[in-house]
Amino acid sequence: MTELFQDPALVLLLLFVIPLALRVPIAICLGLSASIVAWMYDMGIDMLPYNFFAGVAKVPLLAIPFFILAGFIMERAGIAARIVTLVETIVGDMTGGLAIATVAVATFWGAVSGSGPATVAALGLILIPAMVKSGYDKPFAAANVSVTSGLAIVIPPSIAFIVYGGIADASVPALFAAGIIPGLLVAGCLMICVYLISKKHGYRGLPRSVPVWKAFKDAFWGIMTPVVILGGIYGGIFTPTEAAAVAIFYGLFVGVFIYRTFNSFEILLEVLVESVKATAVIMFVVTCAGLFAWVASTVGLVEKGAEFLLALSDNPWVLLALINIILLLAGMLLDAISIYYVLLPFLLPLIRHFGWDVVWFGVMMTVNLAIGQITPPVAVNLYVGAQISGLTMEEITPAVIPLLIAAVLALVLIIYVPWFSTFLPALWGL
């Protein structure tokens, strides 16, 4: 027992894993284990407050609360509903029309919210009842919305890319550009999957109730959202953090003056409260995870973890497959933000050792973690989808499996064909 306490890295690992296995919230596991080890081994207890706040005192992380607020504003402004109507009108009553429309809208909405659960909440209330009304199986409808909303952390702008860029010291605009083609690739695989399922069961879309041009006119200001955000970033007009602030004012402009859905102070107050709650959860995890990362680096846990992985195999492709299996398993237990802070420090030495492109690795890791949002037991997207649909996780899960397979196939292509991730950053000189 005495020998056990002589290794602070092992003590830190045990203090983190044991409470986690007992279903203690992840932020508490991270912060408490780091604080106890820092106290036990006299690492400078007065440094804990500094490192706690240093984890969030970074300008790029300001984009997180801004994008969360922008997502809530645009959802309440009616942009989501109009985008759904446009895509439904375009696909009409073709086979699998509503299912394909769901994938398309979720892909687009990822360029607005940047958050998987927020996308499920924004789109699920509209699309799940519409699919059920059109004859779709309710578990399939809920699974489709929940799975495709995971694209929100891959399609730029992405909160996940902002966090990854901060930890790995990677260019956030380059990550945003790198996520476009892989995000569309995942969307394409999911569209093929839902089409085949719909064809088998005879699912169709809704007959067009309005002309396409009218639906496009109504949705125009919503369609312009990613154009304003991404166009400003890649045009050199503003940084990703500034783009998030611009997105807020753009959403307010559309909601107040164009769609006139923000017609009372109470609505704005509700949106602010919802945004503060969502931001507080993420930022508390970020602060505790940053504290854990500092202690883990100090006691040598990061180096030992990297050495352990290298000892398993020195073949980069074998190790890459192993890393993705670990990430998939981690995604079943932890949220994406926590995984970045816990595992990425262990993986950065491997990235440098093998000379892997840090931007490509970030896209691969993010797609992997997007899949983690739909894999039980900690499948945050499925929890939100279940709550909206009134179903249980057990009822939704079987319908998720075919979509999960399609997403994993897309992940394999992204892993072994880096061109999908590196083409646009290289083209745009990022």
DSSP per-residue string spanning 170-238 = --HHHHHHHHHHHHHHHHHHHHHHHHHHHHHHT-B-PPPSS-HHHHHHHHHHHHHHHHHHHHHHHTTSS
pTM: 0.81
Cβ neighbour number for residue 398 with a 10 Å cutoff: 11
Closest to 170 in 3D by CA, of 240, 120, 265, 88? 240
User: Is the bond leading into 425 cis (omega within 30 degrees of zero)?
Assistant: no
Q: Which residue has the tokens 């999960």?
A: 404
Residues paired with residue 204 on neighbouring β-strands, in sequence order: 95
pLDDT, residue 318, reads 86
Torsion of CA 319, 325, 330, 332, to 10 degrees: 170
Structural domain total, the chain: 1
Is 265 buried (19+), middle (13-18) or exposed (0-12) by CB count in 10 A? Answer: exposed
**Does 52 have pLDDT greater than 80?**
no
Phi, psi angle pair for 235, to nearest 5°: -85, 0
Average pLDDT over residues 339-348: 83
User: Considering the domain boundaries, does residue 372 fall inside one?
Assistant: yes
User: Considering the domain boundaries, does residue 7 fall inside one?
Assistant: no
Cβ neighbour number for residue 423 with a 10 Å cutoff: 14
pLDDT, residue 360, reads 95
Is 260 buried (19+), middle (13-18) or exposed (0-12) by CB count in 10 A? Answer: exposed
CA distance 192 to 128: 19
- Identify whether the C-beta of residue 338 lies closer than 8 Å to the C-beta of residue 293: no
Closest to 201 in 3D by CA, of 283, 123, 96? 96
Q: Where are the alpha helices (DSSP H) in 235-377?
A: 240-253, 265-299, 301-312, 316-331, 336-354, 358-372
HSE value, Cβ hemisphere, 13 Å, CA-based, for 17? 7
CA distance 244 to 334: 26
User: Considering the domain boundaries, does residue 9 fall inside one?
Assistant: no
- pLDDT band at residue 406 under the 50/70/90 scheme: very high
Residue that wins the pLDDT comparison between 49 and 188: 188
Residue 221: partners with Cβ closer than 8 Å, 6 or more residues away: 79, 254, 258, 259
- pLDDT band at residue 356 under the 50/70/90 scheme: very high
**Does 299 have pLDDT greater than 60?**
yes
- Identify whether the C-beta of residue 165 lies closer than 8 Å to the C-beta of residue 172: yes
**Does 278 have pLDDT greater than 70?**
yes
How far CA 41 is from CA of 33, 310, 381, in Å, comes to 12, 28, 39
User: Considering the domain boundaries, does residue 274 fall inside one?
Assistant: yes
pLDDT, residue 2, reads 54
HSE value, Cβ hemisphere, 13 Å, CA-based, for 309? 27
**Does 175 have pLDDT greater than 90?**
yes
HSE value, Cβ hemisphere, 13 Å, CA-based, for 321? 6
Helices H / strands E in the chain, number of each? 21, 0
- pLDDT band at residue 3 under the 50/70/90 scheme: low
Cβ neighbour number for residue 109 with a 10 Å cutoff: 31
Residue that wins the pLDDT comparison between 308 and 194: 194
Using alpha carbons only, what angle is made at residue 304 by residues 48 and 33, rounded to the nearest 5 degrees? 30
Average pLDDT over residues 240-261: 85
Tell me: the pLDDT tens digits for 121-147? 777 777 888 888 888 889 998 899 888
Q: Which residue has the tokens 């497959």?
A: 321
pLDDT, residue 21, reads 78
User: Considering the domain boundaries, does residue 324 fall inside one?
Assistant: yes
Q: Where are the alpha helices (DSSP H) in 373-392?
A: 380-389
Average per-residue pLDDT for the chain: 82
User: Considering the domain boundaries, does residue 17 fall inside one?
Assistant: no
Per 3-state DSSP, the chain is made up of helix, strand and coil in percentages (nearest 5) of 80, 0, 20
Residues paired with residue 95 on neighbouring β-strands, in sequence order: 204
Residue 6 structure tokens? 């002589």
- pLDDT band at residue 306 under the 50/70/90 scheme: low
User: Considering the domain boundaries, does residue 36 fall inside one?
Assistant: no
**Does 255 have pLDDT greater than 80?**
yes
Read out DSSP for 293-314?
Answer: HHHHHHHTHHHHHHHHHHHH--
Highest mean pLDDT among 21-30, 46-55, 249-258, 327-336: 249-258
Residue 232 structure tokens? 């400003």
**Does 386 have pLDDT greater than 60?**
yes
Residue 341: partners with Cβ closer than 8 Å, 6 or more residues away: 30, 163, 167, 285, 286, 289, 290, 292, 293
Domain of 80, in residue numbers: 59-427
User: Considering the domain boundaries, does residue 239 fall inside one?
Assistant: yes
